[in-house]
Amino acid sequence: MKKAAIYARVSTPDQHLETQLYDLRKLAAQRGFEIVREYSDHGISGSKARRPGLDAMMADARRGEFSVVLVVAFDRIARSTKNFLEIVDELHALNIDFLSGRECIDTSGPMGRMFLTMVGSIAELEKSLIVERIRAGMRRAKMEGQRLGRAPLNVDRAAIVRDRLSGMSLTKVAKRHGVSRATVVRLVREAKQQEIVAAA
């Protein structure tokens, strides 16, 4: 019986790790694997290179704690093809198979490895196309004269700075003018910088 590790990750608080873990335990039972370790990362994007759960799994992999890794989908491991293939390559070098439930990919065979690379490349292409569509939309909006980013604050900046410099608390100034504490700090800092420039 192969010793297996399962890895689950969710990137937002409204997602549930337990759903992935349940599916992975079921997949392991169907394949006749013995789960010896469970790893997870909660509220962490797949684009982050450092993830505690993934890092712990890779450290145990190097110690030979298991011989197969199961995930519900390959994008749980990483979002970039480069990072994804680096992880799978290291697992392969350690004689550890990688199995993805959604894509039905099993790297224990050459066909699995080929499909792994193809699917990863398609996901990377899709991400690049999304980024390019966003940039194109922003260019079009700019050409049409639409404002991009936050709208300018319609507040009495001088009054905010004056109240804060008079000794009024940060919280009181923010409430009085209906802005955030961060905005008060920023406006005061900008005013002081302008004074330094004017004095020079």
Q: How do the domains of the chain map onto residue ranges?
A: 3-125, 157-199
Residue 34: the pLDDT is: 95
Amino acid present at 189: R
Q: Which distant-in-sequence residues (6+ apart) come within 8 Å of 155 by Cβ?
A: 177, 178, 179
Is the separation of the CB atoms in 51 and 20 below 8 Å? no
Q: Which of the following is catalytic: 11, 40, 47, 108?
A: 11
Q: Which pLDDT tens digits describe the chain residue by residue (200 residues)?
A: 899 999 999 887 667 888 899 999 999 999 999 999 999 988 776 555 578 899 999 999 999 999 999 998 878 887 677 777 788 889 988 999 999 888 777 777 777 777 767 766 776 777 778 888 888 888 887 887 776 666 556 788 889 999 999 989 989 998 998 888 888 898 888 888 887 777 66
Residue 143: the pLDDT is: 81
* Paired residues of 8 in beta bridges: 40
* Paired residues of 40 in beta bridges: 8
Is 11 catalytic? The answer is yes
Question: Which letter does DSSP use for residue 104 in this model?
Answer: T
Is the separation of the CB atoms in 164 and 173 below 8 Å? yes
**What gap in Å lies between CA 18 and CA 131, rounded to an integer?**
31
Residue 182: the pLDDT is: 87
DSSP H or E segment with residue 29:
helix 17-31
Residue 153: the pLDDT is: 65
Beta strands in the chain (DSSP E): 3-10, 34-42, 68-71, 97-100, 105-106
Q: How many CB atoms lie within 10 A of CB 1?
A: 8
Among residues 78, 61, 70, 81, the alpha carbon closest in space to that of 104 is found at 70
Query: Which superfamily, per CATH, for 3-125?
Result: Resolvase, N-terminal catalytic domain (3.40.50.1390)
Residue 63: the pLDDT is: 95
Residue 21: the pLDDT is: 92
Is the separation of the CB atoms in 75 and 7 below 8 Å? no
**What gap in Å lies between CA 96 and CA 87, rounded to an integer?**
11
pTM: 0.56
